[in-house]
């Protein structure tokens, strides 16, 4: 395999490093990590360790149908209201101390979603009531609603309708609402007005708290890397409002769904089930929906990772009703024209191409042509031979090296539970020594840090050397994911000092 060497494209203009930790994983009093004090403490931790980047997962809404995965959202634009900090709502006069006294005891190790959601929904209603009596917030709220009208109105209506219709999938709503008959929609807006306004209010609070945190990070020299999933959930406001840009059949149900063929993660492939795009229709609109989506994310984040980048070049399409992703086919997408249009509309593109798995030459060529940094994951490096692109001697300057990602086991978990004997032997040969399970995370961190890659990102679990119980997601499983939380004791000067020392040694300060 020929390894292409590319220069930096300015997305990562100098050597730097950072930490991968989703906001939901942060320590916080009210059941899930949020934009409150612990997020600022984490930013301080990163700054003390001279880190340049904080990488998060998508911040869009999650739901129980998909086990709260941030990669299956009911909106491509809205924020996850459960990441709002009740502490800061109280600070800002949107909650009273008495409103929070009913908070139950939550686990500090895992997110207990139903329990957390029940409590937060209760206090959000109280917060909205307090908000309606606050005149000084009105100007900011009205400006937010005006600036985000293109998606906010439909999103708030969608959530209100879903609640009103007992959570039913939008394809099971009454025909007039399902097909967005203007009279029916107008009538429902009137009858659900308060719920709609409450959802808009929560998006306003989400945005206000997030941008305050982002500004704080920026002032400390920390850039935030966000993440855009390739697909949206079928039961989403985007498919309800824009059915024409998806391959839907009778009754507006998917004719084809997304996935990937058999790969490292699953011998049957991964059947994601999202509706796939009609790129011909998107092209005829000048890719308006995608441009708006990426532009929206580039306001939220400094850099954005495009998940499943190869789907912009060709995507795996499986007929609706299939039980595995084995029987599908690759369908071409207009990647070059799309990215050219995107660049002409948005200018510089601070994007990372998620190019993991089996990547064909046409995908590599698009990444090269647009000079996008790709990804190199060290947990994939020690299978195969010396041409393996994930091996450090095959890295290039314009890429991001990871020990692992949210979809992988932790380094320690991989070493103990997943690595083959031959992989361990290759790892030891590469390091020039044998290492114990308790030290393997540190060795792979050093490998990542000394890589020629402009940027090195390490999941917080690997910085701490945690095992499989700290894993964030298992792609082949839909149970028990997205729940891990960081214990407060780990955000200490000893951990920060160790990370700082390694960052300095390898020139990433």
Question: H or E segment at 20?
Answer: strand 16-20
| Short-list 52, 41, 45, CA closest to 11 | 52
Spatial contact of 487 and 37, defined as CB atoms under 8 Å apart: no
Sheet holding 53-55, edge to edge: 351-353, 303-306, 223-228, 53-55, 16-20, 455-459, 399-402, 374-377
CA distance 191 to 372: 48
Residue 15, both tokens: 């050597």
Q: Which bin fits 451, alpha (ψ -120 to 50), beta or left (φ > 0)?
A: beta
CA distance 235 to 165: 14
Q: Is 274 helix (H, G, I), strand (E, B) or coil?
A: strand
β-strands 374-377, 399-402: how paired?
parallel
CB-side neighbour CA atoms (13 Å) of 506 = 23
Of these residues, 233, 354, 423, 462, which one is catalytic?
A: 354
**307 classed as catalytic:** yes
CA dihedral 345, 348, 350, 355 (to 10 degrees): 70
Residue 376, both tokens: 């190199």
> What is the SS3 assignment for 445-481?
HHHHHCCCCCEEEEEHHHHHCCCHHHCCCCCCCCCCC
Of these residues, 137, 199, 238, 307, which one is catalytic?
A: 307
Q: What is the CA radius of gyration of the chain?
A: 23
**227 classed as catalytic:** no
Q: Is 264 exposed, middle or buried (0-12, 13-18, 19+ CB in 10 A)?
A: middle
Residue 417, both tokens: 């539970």
Spatial contact of 100 and 123, defined as CB atoms under 8 Å apart: yes
CA distance 314 to 324: 19
Spatial contact of 462 and 445, defined as CB atoms under 8 Å apart: yes
266 — phi, psi (to 5°)?
Answer: -155, 130
> At how many degrees (to 10) do helices 149-164 and 288-300 cross?
90
Of these residues, 233, 235, 407, 454, which one is catalytic?
A: 407
CA distance 37 to 29: 10
E-strand spans in 261-393?
A: 270-275, 303-306, 314-319, 329-332, 351-353, 374-377
| Short-list 164, 146, 130, CA closest to 200 | 146
Spatial contact of 53 and 453, defined as CB atoms under 8 Å apart: no
Active site residues: 307, 354, 407
């Amino acid at each position: 395999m020929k390894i292409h060497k590319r220069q930096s494209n300015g997305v990562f203009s100098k050597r730097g490093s950072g930490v991968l930790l989703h906001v939901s994983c942060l320590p916080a009093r009210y059941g899930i990590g949020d934009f409150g004090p612990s997020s600022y403490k984490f930013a301080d931790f990163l700054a003390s360790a001279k880190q340049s980047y904080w990488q998060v997962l998508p911040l869009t809404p999650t739901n129980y149908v998909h086990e709260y995965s941030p990669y299956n959202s009911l909106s491509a634009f809205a924020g996850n209201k459960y990441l709002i900090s009740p502490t800061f709502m109280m600070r800002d006069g949107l909650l009273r101390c008495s409103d929070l006294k009913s908070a139950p005891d939550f686990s500090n190790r895992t997110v207990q979603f139903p329990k957390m959601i029940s409590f937060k929904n209760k206090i959000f209603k109280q917060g909205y009531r307090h908000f309606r009596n606050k005149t000084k917030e009105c100007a900011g709220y009205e400006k937010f609603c005006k600036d985000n009208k293109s998606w906010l109105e439909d999103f708030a209506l969608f959530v209100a309708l879903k609640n009103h219709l007992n959570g039913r999938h939008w394809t099971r709503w009454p025909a007039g609402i399902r097909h967005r008959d203007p009279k029916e929609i107008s009538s429902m807006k009137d009858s659900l007005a308060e719920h709609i306004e409450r959802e808009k209010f929560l998006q306003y609070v989400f945005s206000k708290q997030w941008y305050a945190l982002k500004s704080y990070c920026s002032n400390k020299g920390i850039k935030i890397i966000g993440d855009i999933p390739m697909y949206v959930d079928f039961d989403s406001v985007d498919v309800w409002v824009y059915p024409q840009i998806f391959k839907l059949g009778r009754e507006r149900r998917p004719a084809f769904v997304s996935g990937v063929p058999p790969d490292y993660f699953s011998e049957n492939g991964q059947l994601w089930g999202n509706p796939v795009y009609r790129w011909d229709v998107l092209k005829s609109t000048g890719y308006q929906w995608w441009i708006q989506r990426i532009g929206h994310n580039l306001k939220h984040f400094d850099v954005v990772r495009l998940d499943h980048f190869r789907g912009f070049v060709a995507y795996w399409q499986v007929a609706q009703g299939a039980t595995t992703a084995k029987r599908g086919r690759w369908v071409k997408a207009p990647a070059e024209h799309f990215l050219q249009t995107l660049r002409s509309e948005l200018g510089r593109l601070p994007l990372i191409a998620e190019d993991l798995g089996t990547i064909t030459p046409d995908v590599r060529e698009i990444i090269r042509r647009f000079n996008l940094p790709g990804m190199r994951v060290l947990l994939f490096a020690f299978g195969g031979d010396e041409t393996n692109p994930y091996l450090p001697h095959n890295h290039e300057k314009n890429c991001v090296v990871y020990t692992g990602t949210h979809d992988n086991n932790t380094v320690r978990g991989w070493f103990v539970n997943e690595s083959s004997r031959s992989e361990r032997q290759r790892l030891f040969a590469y390091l020039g020594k044998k290492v114990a399970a308790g030290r393997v995370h540190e060795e792979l961190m050093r490998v990542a840090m000394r890589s020629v890659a402009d940027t090195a990102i390490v999941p917080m679990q690997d910085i701490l050397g945690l095992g499989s119980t700290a894993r964030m997601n298992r792609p082949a499983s839909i149970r028990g994911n997205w729940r891990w939380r960081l214990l407060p004791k780990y955000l200490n000067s000893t951990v920060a000092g160790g990370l700082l020392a390694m960052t300095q040694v390898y020139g990433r300060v």
